[in-house]
A and B are shown apart, each in its own frame.
Chain A
Amino acid sequence: MLNVENLTVHFPIGRGLLVRAVDGVSFTVSKGETLGLVGESGCGKSTTGRAILRLIPTTAGSVAFDGRDVLSASNTELHELRRRMQMVFQDPFASLSPRLTVGKIVAEPLEIHNVGANAAERRDRVTELLSAVGMPVGAANRYPHEFSGGQRQRIGIARALALNPEFLVLDEPVSALDISVRAQVVNLLADLQQQRGISYLFIGHDLSLIRHAAQRVAVMYLGRIVEIAPAAALYSNPRHPYTRSLLASAPIPDPSRRRERAPLEGDPPSPVNMPSGCRFRNRCPFAQPVCAERDPELIQIDGVAGHHSACHFARELPVWSPLESYLPQG
């Protein structure tokens, strides 16, 4: 369905410097599949999502959607593709026009793409969409600022669903929602997937939710995918030290299991000044001299189809036990 190859996005920031926000990312998303995308804040997840939909210019690489080249599509082709590929933006505050009523915001894509015979039909569709995402009745006539953060996020989801897209980039779609609504929206997305075979690229920080929602998960660090695997394999047998840090840092919803976590030491290097070799090496507890010399490639992990890790020691890392990385409190 979606085939992303060597996607690269560099932002020039003056004086000849480049922010290497996305630096050679490749993955596929099949029809009806959800690929989870997690990773350090600032590692390029949103930029990846935006580049796929061609909302920002790409430096190199290719994106194919349903066999069609997105990055070199003509304007008319792009208009058509935009109908089939949509995005739910990370920031519900910035992405909704404050001057339009909620009804107009959700109806806008319908108007742009001439969907629905008349205004009344569009209104019905808007009502249906808003109730599907659990917004209160009457929301259509109010303005975004009259709603709480979580409610605005749902308006963004309703808008993205308006055109029945086949592929959705969900950029932290439920982070601003309370857990009950979060569960409801995740169920809704799953239902839509079942009924219509929509594919999702699901960006998020909530690891237990991603585990539930995605069939496969990709972990990004500093512009690269460092590990990608079926969800079950990634969580039970992570094969990259960064993935292990992430899993070990996740809080647990039980005060009696409160622990002082062994923090991931150090700070991420800057995407302007990449270290030599492995990008994770200055924070990696397993780093060896070779890690400074050679940039690790994604290698196949034995025994699990589709499990790849970009660590020189991906196959040698000790058996994963999440509890080892916790220090009991006190």
Chain B
Amino acid sequence: MLTPPLLSVENLTIAFPGKTGDSIVVDGVSFALNRGETVGVVGESGSGKSMTALSILRLIPEPGRVTGGTIALDGESILALTEKALRRVRGGRIAMIFQDPMTSLNPVFTIGEQIAEAVRLHRAEEGLTGKAAWDEAVNALRRVHIAEPERRAKQFPHELSGGMRQRVMIAMALACRPDVLLADEPTTALDVTVQAQILSLIRELQREIGMAVLLITHDLAVVAETCDRVIVLYAGKVMEMADAQSLFDDPKHPYTQGLLASLPENAPQGATRLTYIKGQPPTNPGKITGCPFRARCPKVIPGVCEKPLPTVQLEPGRMIRCHLFTESGNTEASHAER
């Protein structure tokens, strides 16, 4: 009775060719997304979160390439779809809220036209064509709490504030009632009251149509409030995967621990400076054998962490990639403590 996940990503690798060889920005990422669930993706800026999401719609910018792995929607390979079939999936079964609303909205069309066009393309069979599609676009704007949606629908992207553009993107993505929503920093540009409204709108749609959400965000509080499970990326690799509660209660990976410690909420009482992870992420993580975090890791075990990263299943649903959790790492670590 094993049903395949709605979306599954296996061993995904993405590279950008360059003068000095390929730079690998996503390296062997695997995860599954089930109907109705919300999975958070957090991690260092530049760790490959957006590229992972973009690859699911085959939208990696040139000259980037998927160089390995599989992506399947309901068991069907997305990487093998024809261009035509792909266009049906994009914005239809899988919708994306892009990190940069300004570059993904067309400056020469009003926002209402842009949403209506998406509705016509994907929901024509429901009779949403012509004027009906326009009305649906206005409704979509109303649902993301844009005041005076009729007037706003006739405006161009540059006439809106940053947060309004963001909401237009969200309205467009949700207007097509997708099975999978890839949301890349969907609420970063929004104030917390609108953020709360949008997140509850997303939850509502999840209950209604069983939409699955991949939520990329730097906002750990949003993750804590909305995600069932969390994936922690570092330098293109999944470092830790756990249910949200366990991750916040007991982060296991030194990188995850460093991330949580950086929260202003977790700063020592009265501290004037915030904690942060010292050092820089590697420029070309693909070139590094062993743990890509080791140069910054406070718990590094010399002689061990240079070895290929292990994948350790701590308990069902809890995965970690760190030498501290292997046989040899354990012994070395306890030696070091003595």
Residues of A participating in the B interface, judged by any CB pair closer than 8 Å: 13, 38-42, 46, 90-91, 93-94, 134, 136-138, 145-151, 172, 175-184, 186-187, 190, 205-209, 211-212, 245-246, 249-258, 260-261, 263-264, 267-270, 272-273
Contacts and interface: CB of A to CB of B under 8 A. Distances in A.
Contacts of B264: 183, 208-209, 211-212
Given A261-B196, A263-B197, A177 B218 contact: yes
A249 B198 CA distance: 12
A148 B306 CA distance: 27
Nearest to A247: B192
- Most chain B beta-carbon neighbours within 10 Å: one of A93, A137, A269: A93
Interface in B82-136: 99-100, 102-103
B192 A268 contact: no
B76 interface: no
B191 A39 contact: yes
Interface in B262-276: 262-267, 272-276
Interface in B251-287: 258-260, 262-267, 272-277, 280-281, 283
A250 B221 contact: yes
A94 B281 CA distance: 25
Contact of A178 (B160, B218, B223, B283): B218
A180 B277 contact: yes
B44 A181 contact: yes
7 contacts: A151-B46, A183-B264, A187-B274, A208-B265, A212-B267, A255-B245, A263-B200
A264 B151 CA distance: 23
A42 B190 CA distance: 9
A261 B195 CA distance: 11
Contact of A176 (B45, B195, B244): B45
B319 interface: no
- Most chain B beta-carbon neighbours within 10 Å: one of A90, A93, A149, A250: A149
A270 B147 contact: yes
Given A178-B45, A246-B193, A251-B222, 14 more contacts: A176-B185, A177-B45, A183-B276, A184-B276, A212-B274, A249-B192, A249-B193, A249-B196, A251-B195, A253-B221, A255-B245, A258-B224, A264-B197, A268-B147
Contacts of A42: 160-161, 163-164
Contacts of B189: 41, 90, 172, 175, 205
The range of chain B's interface size is 35 or more
Contact of A180 (B223, B225, B244, B258): B258
Contact of B103 (A46, A93, A264): A93
Contacts of A145: 61
B192 A246 contact: yes
A43 B224 CA distance: 28
B45 A253 contact: no
Given A39-B191, A138-B283, A151-B46, A179 B259 contact: yes
A263 B281 CA distance: 39
Contacts of B263: 179, 208, 253
Contacts of A40: 191, 193-194
A205 B189 CA distance: 7
Contacts of A93: 100, 102-103
A150 B49 CA distance: 11
Interface in B37-73: 42-47, 50, 61
A149 B265 contact: no
A48 to B, nearest CB: 12
Contacts of A209: 264
Nearest to A147: B46
Interface string B140-183: 00000111100100000001111110110000000000000000
A153 B191 CA distance: 19
A180 B191 contact: no
Contacts of A205: 188-192, 195
B312 interface: no
A255 B225 contact: yes
Return the 5 tightest CB-CB contacts between A and B, nearest first: A41-B163, A150-B45, A183-B274, A251-B221, A183-B276
A27 B265 CA distance: 28
B6 interface: no
A229 to B, nearest CB: 18
A254 B164 CA distance: 28
Interface string B306-319: 00000000000000
Given A187-B276, A251-B222, A255-B248, A46 B162 contact: yes
Contacts of B42: 178
B259 A137 contact: no
Nearest to A139: B283
Contacts of A249: 192-193, 195-196
A273 B150 CA distance: 14
Contacts of B193: 40, 245-246, 249, 263-264
Contacts of A38: 191
B159 A149 contact: no
Contact of B283 (A136, A172, A186): A136
A91 B274 contact: no
Contacts of A182: 218, 262
B219 A251 contact: yes
B50 A190 contact: no
B49 to A, nearest CB: 8
B245 A269 contact: no
